[in-house]
Chain A
């Protein structure tokens, strides 16, 4: 990871011609004119490929949990349906809002890079807001767990509760990872060099956490 010591903190925009294009590293053919140097530019940044790899594996994990839920529910008669704690819906709004604020942050940072220096506010502000919303989400989830437990519905009360806790806790743990990523991005922004690819990868992960939550909410709402 590049750390420049003597320059003031900056935000770097990696100029990758392939950024956003779809002829990336998947087909790194040697060009007919033999100019091998062109091959380099087509490779996506590892952070970008890396985050897709991570998201693929997280998807598989939650797919496994989903099929476990479906099989377990279908195989026995002991499923006790219950109403989801209403705070979950509030939390959903919070996490969606956090994705919006994250996108605002990204665009502000890009604009700042592009020279729109008229903005006086720190580009990190919207990142802080996202972080706050993320923490609020986790607090809200914790509230849901505490509330259920106080009502006497624990992990082993019934298999429906078991899956509720397993899915929401697993999601929250992954979300904490996303929060860690945001903290790291803010740290780099303020103290060293933040690459565009790092910011993009972290954002992609964060948005995925939001999408995953919406999916889980829907699954729980349908099944529980």
Chain B
């Protein structure tokens, strides 16, 4: 039984590693400017985690195999170095590893969250509500009109609660159901929740950020590849959570300009 168990451990450990090594279900391709640091951090972690995982499972299997064999008159042996050696190893190996990961990881995090958006970043507001995302562009005047929660009406497609009759700044705001952005342009995303907690996740963009009802948070990013990507909600928001998504369309500057004009005409 011990030997079978040991073999099973080894097989499972190897089988676990195969999909990772073979990239069977890889992380989606990075289309962001900041994602390189994240991916590097991830690759480093995977290497260290992978080695630790395989080494410890193999060691466990080996010890189970070896020390379940009975030889009469055998004495108990102590692991060389005893507990002191192992504690020292844990502190040194794991300690340095985690410190390294922590320290270097700060850079990747800071590039997303602790750097301010560029002065010419394009502002877009996204509102999350049960169960859809809507996006608002400020229009030619560059300003967002105020929101009037009591005027929100799904029936009238007034998703943001804009008062275009009385608020000058709202008149040219453009509301759309997808997030179209020009490629290679920094976007400053202003995040607002209409009702409960939601989250904005685009794997390719290497961005995930919760919406906080009552607190408008922002993220900024730059997409580097034209294409159509999915924005999905990752914070449980009710029965429609699984279906709550929108498309991110990264367009060439020309295509984007055309799109925004079309959208303005539709308002």
Contacts and interface: CB of A to CB of B under 8 A. Distances in A.
Any A–B CB pair closer than 8 Å: yes
Interface of A: 75-76
B214 interface: yes
A84 to B, nearest CB: 28
The 3 closest A-B pairs by CB, nearest first: A76-B214, A75-B214, A75-B215
Interface residues of B, number: 2
Contacts, number: 3
Interface of B: 214-215
Nearest to B215: A75
A75 B214 CA distance: 9
B205 to A, nearest CB: 29
Contacts of A76: 214
A79 to B, nearest CB: 14
A156 B215 CA distance: 22
A213 to B, nearest CB: 33
Contacts of A75: 214-215
B197 to A, nearest CB: 15
A76 B215 CA distance: 10
Contacts of B214: 75-76
Nearest to A76: B214
A134 B215 CA distance: 44
A73 to B, nearest CB: 14
Contacts of B215: 75
A76 B213 CA distance: 12
A76 B214 CA distance: 9
A75 B215 CA distance: 9
A78 to B, nearest CB: 11
A77 to B, nearest CB: 11
3 contacts: A75-B214, A75-B215, A76-B214
A143 B215 CA distance: 38
B152 to A, nearest CB: 21
A93 B64 CA distance: 69
A93 B120 CA distance: 63
A125 B215 CA distance: 58
B212 to A, nearest CB: 10
A76 B212 CA distance: 13
A75 B212 CA distance: 12
